[in-house]
């Protein structure tokens, strides 16, 4: 490959971060999605036919920020949440992954070359829904929690990104006790089990699950019970942060 060829083929791409922000509520796993307005363009470059679609929250990475920082900023702008479990899991870079007509307006806003492709670094985040305060992002776009099973068709390749995030989560949750990140501070073993079941998409044996969880020594039993439920109230537990931190690097051998 010589320099001429390079001139042809290398237009710097845009780089964005997209976040798969997962929460858990009413025994359902949910994902935070935003509405995105865009207009198609006619051949004169004029906008027409305004449309709305739904997407994962994301934005361009700023020049002066680290990828992780960028992901945290975007999460903060959108949800106000700070300081939570977040992890980069994959870059997506199919040259056609952002359809130009769909994205023209957004790219113009950025004043960058609208011809360039967009490569995105995908992150996933786990949040406690109780902590979440809804907030429009810096472009005043509405955001909403969607149950995983009811996610509509998303912009670009965002359905695929979401799908892969869920795969990764499934894998991780069987190896690291990540489930806690999604639950309120005090929780019952039943809640924890239902969370695992909705992540793994499979039923677990109650007694085996409890034995396993207790053997990890991650649970601090509170001397407290559920209130106001129409059945036997469950004992509540807290999560033992100290033991968790010692596990960094894995439960697995």
Partner DNA sequence: CAACTTAGTGTTATTTTGACACTAACTAGG
Partner DNA sequence: CCTAGTTAGTGTCAAAATAACACTAAGTTG
Distances (CA, A) of 141 to 78, 161, 240: 9, 20, 37
Under rule CB under 8 A, how many of the chain's residues touch a copy of itself? 43
Tokens representing 174 are 């069987």
Determine which residue in the list 29, 56, 60, 162 makes contact with a copy of itself, applying CB under 8 A.
60
Rounded Cα distance, 149 and 164, in Å: 15
CA distance 165 to 219: 27
**Contact pattern for a copy of itself over residues 219 through 248, marking x by CB under 8 A:** ------------------------------
Q: Is 205 in the site for a copy of itself (CB under 8 A)?
A: no
Taking CB under 8 A as the criterion, the residue among 47, 52, 91, 216 binding a copy of itself is: 91
121 binds, among DNA, a copy of itself, none (CB under 5 to 8 A by kind): a copy of itself
If the CB atoms of residues 3 and 26 are measured against a copy of itself, the closer one turns out to be 3
- For residue 250, state whether it binds DNA (rule: CB under 7 A): no
* Interface with a copy of itself, residue 174, by CB under 8 A: yes
Distance (Å, rounded) from C-alpha 75 to C-alpha 57? 8
Q: How far is the CB of 111 from a copy of itself (least distance, A)?
A: 5
* Residue 68 sits in the site that holds DNA (CB under 7 A): no
Pairing of strands 58-60, 14-25: antiparallel
Length of the chain: 253
Among 112, 164, 188, 240, binds DNA (CB under 7 A): 188
Q: H or E element: which one contains 69?
A: helix 67-79
Q: Is position 26 an interface residue for a copy of itself (rule: CB under 8 A)?
A: no
Residue 215 binding a copy of itself, by CB under 8 A: no
Whichever of 5 and 43 has its CB closer to a copy of itself, that residue is: 5
The contacts of residue 188 (CB under 8 Å, 6+ apart) are: 226, 234, 235, 236, 237
Check residue 8 for interaction with DNA (CB under 7 A). Answer: no
Structure tokens at 60: 């361009």
Report how far residue 99's alpha carbon sits from residue 118's, in angstroms, rounded to the nearest whole number. Answer: 10
Kindly identify the residues of this chain, within the stretch 192-221, that bind DNA according to CB under 7 A: 205-208, 210-212, 215
User: 118: which 2 tokens?
Assistant: 């967009």
């Amino acid at each position: 490959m010589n320099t001429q060829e390079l001139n042809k083929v290398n237009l710097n791409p845009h780089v964005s971060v997209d976040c798969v922000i997962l929460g858990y509520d009413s025994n359902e796993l949910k994902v935070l999605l935003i509405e995105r307005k865009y207009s198609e363009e006619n051949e004169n470059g004029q906008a027409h036919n305004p449309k709305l679609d739904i997407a994962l929250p994301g934005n361009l990475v700023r020049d002066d920020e680290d990828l992780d920082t960028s992901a945290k900023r975007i999460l903060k702008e959108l949800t106000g949440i700070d300081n939570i479990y977040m992890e980069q899991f994959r870059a997506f870079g199919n040259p056609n992954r952002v359809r130009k007509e769909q994205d023209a307006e957004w790219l113009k806003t950025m004043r960058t070359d609208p011809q360039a492709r967009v490569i995105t670094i995908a992150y996933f985040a786990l949040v406690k829904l109780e902590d979440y305060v809804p907030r429009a992002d810096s472009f005043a776009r509405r955001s909403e929690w969607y149950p995983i099973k009811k996610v509509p068709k998303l912009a670009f390749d965002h359905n695929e990104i979401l799908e892969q995030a869920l795969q990764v989560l499934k894998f991780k949750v069987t190896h690291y006790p990540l489930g806690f990140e999604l639950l309120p501070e005090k929780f019952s073993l039943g809640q924890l089990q239902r969370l695992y079941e909705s992540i793994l998409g499979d039923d677990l044996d109650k007694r085996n699950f409890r034995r396993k969880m207790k053997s990890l020594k991650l649970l601090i039993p509170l001397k407290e019970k559920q209130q106001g439920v129409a059945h036997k109230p469950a004992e509540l537990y807290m999560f033992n942060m100290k033991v968790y931190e010692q596990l960094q690097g894995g439960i697995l051998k």
